Structure 1
Amino acid sequence: MLKGSLAYFLVYSIRDAAANNVKRLAEEFGPDWAMQHIVPQVLDMINNPHYLHRMTILHAISLLAPVMGPEITCSKLLPEVINASKDRVPNIKFNVAKVLQSLIPIVDQSVVEKTIRPCLVELSEDPDVDVRFFATQALQSSDQVMMSS
C-alpha cells in the first residue's frame, strides 16, 4: 500500500495529466469543438463536492483559456473562476488566485480592472494566509500588466 507523499504525488499526477489531456484535445480539435464537447463537462464539474475535483477543474480552466481565446474565457470560464473564489476551502481560493493571475495576459485590460482585480482584492483580505499570499502575488502581476500598457 502506498503511503503519504508518494500516494499524494501519484494522485496529483493523474489529475494534472487529465487537465493537460483536456488542453491537448482542445488544441487538436479547436475551440469550436472544445466549446461543444469539453467546456460544458468541465464547467459541470466545478461544483463537485470533492475539493480535489474542483482544483483539477481550476487547473484545466487555466490550461484551456489560452486555447479558447479571450471571448470564451471571459464569457464561460472566468465567471466560474470568480464563483469559485467563494469556496469554503482555502486551497480552492488560492488556486483561484493563481488561475486569475494566469488569465491576466489573455483577457482585455478592462476585464482585469472590472472583474479580476476586485476578486483578487477580496481574496487578498481572506483570513487564510496562503490565500492572501497568492492573491497579493496575482495583484502585483496585474499591476505590472497595467503599468506596461
Structure 2
Amino acid sequence: MGMLTEFKAFIARGNVVDLAVAVVIGAAFGKIVTALVEGLVMPIIAMITGGASVAAWKYVVTPGVTDATGKVLTAEVAFKYGLVLQTVIDFLLIAFVIFLVLKAYNRVREPAPEAATPEDVLLLREIRDSLKTR
C-alpha cells in the first residue's frame, strides 16, 4: 500500500498536473500551427517559388526504376529537404507564438510598480533624519 500512497502523492503535486496540462495543450497547439503552415504559409511559398509544393522539394540521388506495368523495381533515393524546411518553419512559428504568450503572461504576472513617494513625505523624512543626527 505504500507504493500506491506514494504514487498518489506524486500525481497530486501541482507540478505533475501542470506539466500534463501543458503537454496536452502544447500538442493541440502544435497541430494548429502545423495546419496553419501547411494550409497558408507553404502555399504562399510555393506560389512565390513556382507552384511546386514545398514538401515535394527533394534532391534525387538515385531515381526509382519501374517496369512497363508501373511496378517499382528500385525505389527512389532522395533527400527530402522540403519536408525539413516545412518542419523548421513549423518549429519557428510555434516557438514565436509561445514566446509571445509567455511575454504577455509575464507582463500580466509582474507586480504593479510601487507608487512614487510624495514629495512632502520625502521632505518630512529628510527633516526627521536631520533631527536624529543632532
Larger Rg: 2
Q: Which has the higher contact order (CA 8 A, sep 6+)?
A: 1
More strand by share: 2
Q: Would the TM-score normalized by the shorter structure come out above 0.5?
A: no
**TM-score, normalised by the number of residues in structure 2:** 0.27
Higher helix residue share: 1
